[in-house]
Structure 1
Amino acid sequence: MRKNALLVRSASIAAALLLAGCQPPQDKQDNAPTGIAAEAMGEVAKGLGEASQEMEKAREEIATARERLARENLSLNRNENESLPKAEITPTGDLLIEGKAVATTPEQKALVLAYRGELLGVVGDGMAIGMEGARVGIDAAASALKGVLAGQSGDEIGQQVGEQAKAKIKPMVAQLCTRLPGLLNAQQALAAALPEFKPYAGMDQSDVDDCGDANGDGNWSF
């Protein structure tokens, strides 16, 4: 995936905007930057175009990755349980421990599939948020470019960019958060029915309660 390329491009755009913003103010009747500032703004415009092209390529790769996830095994080894034996859930509802399928009843397999479905929904939303975050970064750079050309202050540009980010990202985070109770319930039901899965059930109610509550009061900062 081209995440690194997007980050490098975003950094160069930010640097160019900073350089332009540090130049002496232009005549109020002529907001067009000159000299080094003009060169910086030209680099910003070029960078935005290239970043947009990278975004389209990354979007296609994300779509491919989501389709692949639906067909491949899902790993259960992450964060707090990454040191446990390798465990996976197959698309057909088998729980594999070190590559060997755990014996399950039809009822247990149905719970494995239910958990897998909930997990895929959360992962898919997470991927979408990451992609939109990159998109917001490009849009923010474009807004900053317009703001500099219009003679806006840094505070004005920052407030505008923050509002745009919140409007686009916060609803997506809220959607992901609404999935977590279902994921937790599916995990608990599977852990209760299938002892071999229980060590990998690391999610608890605090994960649901904390989702989307970055500052402890439900108000996100962007």
Structure 2
Amino acid sequence: MRPLLVVGVLALAACQPADKDSVPTGVAAKALDEVANGLGDASKEMEKARQEIAAARERLARENISLNRDAKQDLPKAEITPAGELLIEGKSIATSPEQKALVLAYRGELLGVVGDGMAIGMEGARVGIDAAASALKGMLAGQNGDDIGKQVGEQAKAKLKPMVAQLCTRMPGLLSAQQALSAALPEFTPYATMDQSDVDDCGDANGDGNWTF
């Protein structure tokens, strides 16, 4: 996949005149031809990426999940198994049935968040290809560069914002599961790095509830 496709197309769009009868010529025309070819290649690679992500999600469901470690604390590696075991440096921590249930609940919440994150990443790549295609089409039609940029931004927002919102609805559950497990299993507490700010800031990169694409 060509990661600079969108950047290149939008840059070319900004250089195009607003005259609807104008047609890109010279270097611009050659660049547009290259972008058009690249879009075809990128679309083919998207299917491969989709299959790889699907395989990764299946692996997550049946493999151990590594927990985040605070580098300042120099914590040993910790994992949660599909069976609900907490492993620290490969050794299983003894748990009661109640504690194991909390481990499994936390793992389930993690899988939900990670799965949504993968889906957003995949859709983001698709949005990039669609944006480049829309920009290319707009340029060939003589559309103004500013109009193309606005249109692409709105398309990205329409597709990605609902997906990010869905992920964010999972965050309170993940925090609650983490807190419950931390309270019940002291060995897990050093790995409980999520806090309320992670919930509050989800999907609000600008800090004002507005999105920029």
Please tell me the TM-score bracket, short chain as reference: over 0.9
Q: Which moved more, 1:185-194 or 1:205-214?
A: 205-214
Superposed displacement of residue 79, structure 1: 5.7
- CA deviations on 1:57-102 (whole Å, 9 max, x unpaired) are 0010000000000010000034667831100000000000000000
**Paired position in structure 1 for 2:133:** 142
- The 2-side partners of 1:138 and 1:129 are apart by 14
Question: Does the 8 A contact of 1:10 with 1:51 survive in 2?
Answer: no
- The 2-side partners of 1:139 and 1:146 are apart by 10
**Paired position in structure 2 for 1:51:** 42
- The 2-side partners of 1:41 and 1:34 are apart by 9
- The 2-side partners of 1:179 and 1:40 are apart by 43
- The 2-side partners of 1:77 and 1:123 are apart by 13
Amino acid at match of 2:4: A
> 1:181 pairs with 167, 172, 178, which one?
172
**Paired position in structure 2 for 1:170:** 161
Amino acid at match of 2:115: G
Question: Does the 8 A contact of 2:127 with 2:156 survive in 1?
Answer: yes
Question: Does the 8 A contact of 2:10 with 2:145 survive in 1?
Answer: no
- Runs of 4+ in structure 1 deviating by more than 6 angstroms, as ranges, are none
Q: Secondary structure at the match of 1:10?
A: coil
Superposed displacement of residue 124, structure 1: 0.5
Q: Which runs of 5+ in 1 are unaligned?
A: 1-5
Q: Which runs of 5+ in 2 are unaligned?
A: none
Amino acid at match of 2:210: N
TM-score normalised per structure 2? 0.92
Matched, 1:14 2:10: no
Amino acid at match of 1:48: L
Distance 1:139 1:177, change over 3 A: same
Give RMSD over aligned pairs.
2.0
Task: Give 1:50-199 correspondences, 5 Å limit.
Answer: 50-78=41-69, 83-199=74-190
Q: Which moved more, 1:13-22 or 1:66-75?
A: 13-22
Distance 1:16 1:205, change over 3 A: closer
Amino acid at match of 2:192: A
TM-score normalised per structure 1? 0.89
Superposed displacement of residue 35, structure 1: 3.0
- The 1-side partners of 2:28 and 2:161 are apart by 34
- CA deviations on 1:185-206 (whole Å, 9 max, x unpaired) are 1000000000000000011111
Identity of aligned residues (%): 79
Distance 1:198 1:28, change over 3 A: closer
- The 1-side partners of 2:24 and 2:182 are apart by 63
Superposed displacement of residue 153, structure 1: 1.1
Superposed displacement of residue 214, structure 1: 1.6
Question: Does the 8 A contact of 1:76 with 1:89 survive in 2?
Answer: yes
Matched, 1:220 2:205: no
